[in-house]
């Protein structure tokens, strides 16, 4: 079973949290790969440089300057910082972004109705699975930054939840795959105020119901869409849970949200 792990920005932004999470990654058994986002790091670097990031509906607009920032920060600092830490923990990490070896070809999002700039969505059935299998077979743990390649050599900013989903789905064509979305909570909550109100099993129907009741906020929707998408396309097990409990999450369904199609 291949384990695809996605980690959120609230974990990678904080060095102590990142360390605690990476210890769990290093302990996880079997072939594994890690997809990371960038959290607030690029926005903060942008501020220092006097580049303000424009958001539409909570999504960053990626102009040329922001794309450079993101590529530096996500594919450069965060990616190599994680690789270095994993190597120190005895995990043979190898950092890539979606542009490397055509790992995740993408297409720039249409400027209509909203122009998000240099943002790309992965092209279906085009992941370079051969490269991933070759690296996993050689014992490497690929660490993947959410930057991809569109037409004519255009780098594109890509949603990390989607990257993880697309990679897991592509790998599942040949092998059993589980996909674990790690963040700073134990799962999807019935009551955001109540730590113990985890939804143990989430179906598309219950997700819609929770959203209608205002219990899932809109920021969670892209993650759930990506997560259900992976499940639909053959990923055996999709879990949402706490980054510090990753090692348990790879083996047990307790204290987390397990996705189910029915």
Closest CB 84 distance from its own copies, rounded Å: 4
Q: Which is nearer to its own copies, 140 or 228 (CB)?
A: 140
Q: Which is nearer to its own copies, 96 or 256 (CB)?
A: 96
Closest CB 261 distance from its own copies, rounded Å: 36
Contacts for 133-139: CB closer than 8 Å, 24+ residues apart: 133/171, 133/174, 135/94, 136/2, 136/31, 136/33, 137/31, 139/92
Give the helix ranges, DSSP H, for the chain: 9-12, 15-27, 41-48, 64-70, 79-88, 129-137, 160-171, 204-212, 221-232, 246-249
Closest CB 32 distance from its own copies, rounded Å: 14
Determine what percent of the chain falls in helix, strand and coil, rounding each to the nearest 5. 40, 25, 35
DSSP string computed for 157-211 = E--HHHHHHHHHHHHTTTS-EEEEEEESSSS-BSSTT-TT-B-SEE-HHHHHHHH
Q: Which is nearer to its own copies, 11 or 155 (CB)?
A: 155
Q: Which is nearer to its own copies, 149 or 202 (CB)?
A: 149
Closest CB 103 distance from its own copies, rounded Å: 8
Q: Which is nearer to its own copies, 76 or 229 (CB)?
A: 76
Q: Which is nearer to its own copies, 63 or 248 (CB)?
A: 63
Residues 57 and 258: their CA atoms lie apart, in Å, by: 28
Closest CB 223 distance from its own copies, rounded Å: 25
Q: How many beta carbons lie within 10 A of that of residue 52, not counting itself?
A: 11
Closest CB 247 distance from its own copies, rounded Å: 20
Q: Which is nearer to its own copies, 96 or 240 (CB)?
A: 96
Closest CB 152 distance from its own copies, rounded Å: 5
In the chain, the N- to C-terminal Cα span, in Å, equals: 23
Pairing of strands 55-56, 59-60: antiparallel
Point out which residues bind its own copies (CB under 8 A): 48-49, 68, 71-77, 79-81, 83-85, 87-89, 92-97, 99-102, 130-131, 134, 138, 140, 147, 149, 152-155
Which value, to the nearest 10 degrees, does the dihedral of the CA atoms of residues 9, 223, 170, 180 take?
Answer: 60
């Amino acid at each position: 079973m291949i384990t695809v792990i996605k980690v959120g920005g609230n974990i990678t932004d904080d060095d102590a949290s990142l360390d605690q999470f990476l210890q769990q990654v290093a302990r996880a058994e079997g072939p594994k790969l890690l997809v990371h986002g960038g959290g607030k790091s690029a926005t903060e670097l942008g501020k220092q440089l006097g580049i303000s990031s424009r958001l539409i509906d909570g999504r960053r607009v990626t102009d040329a300057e922001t794309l450079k920032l993101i590529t530096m920060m996500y594919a450069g600092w965060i990616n190599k910082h994680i690789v270095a830490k994993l190597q120190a923990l005895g995990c043979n990490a190898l950092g890539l972004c979606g542009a490397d070896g055509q790992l995740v070809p993408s297409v720039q999002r249409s400027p209509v109705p909203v122009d998000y700039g240099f943002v790309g969505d992965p092209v279906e059935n085009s992941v370079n699975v051969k490269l991933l299998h070759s690296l996993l077979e050689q014992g490497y743990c690929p660490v993947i930054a959410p930057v991809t390649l569109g037409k004519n050599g255009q780098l594109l900013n890509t949603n990390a939840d989607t990257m993880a989903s697309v990679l897991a789905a592509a790998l599942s064509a040949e092998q059993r795959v589980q996909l674990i979305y790690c963040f700073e909570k134990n799962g999807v909550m019935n009551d955001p105020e109540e730590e113990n109100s985890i939804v143990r099993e989430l179906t598309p129907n219950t997700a819609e119901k929770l959203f209608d009741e205002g219990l899932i906020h809109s920021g969670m929707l892209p993650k759930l869409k990506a997560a259900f998408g992976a499940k639909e396309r053959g990923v055996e097990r999709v879990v949402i849970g706490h980054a510090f409990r990753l090692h348990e999450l790879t083996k047990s369904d307790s204290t987390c949200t397990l996705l189910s199609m029915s």
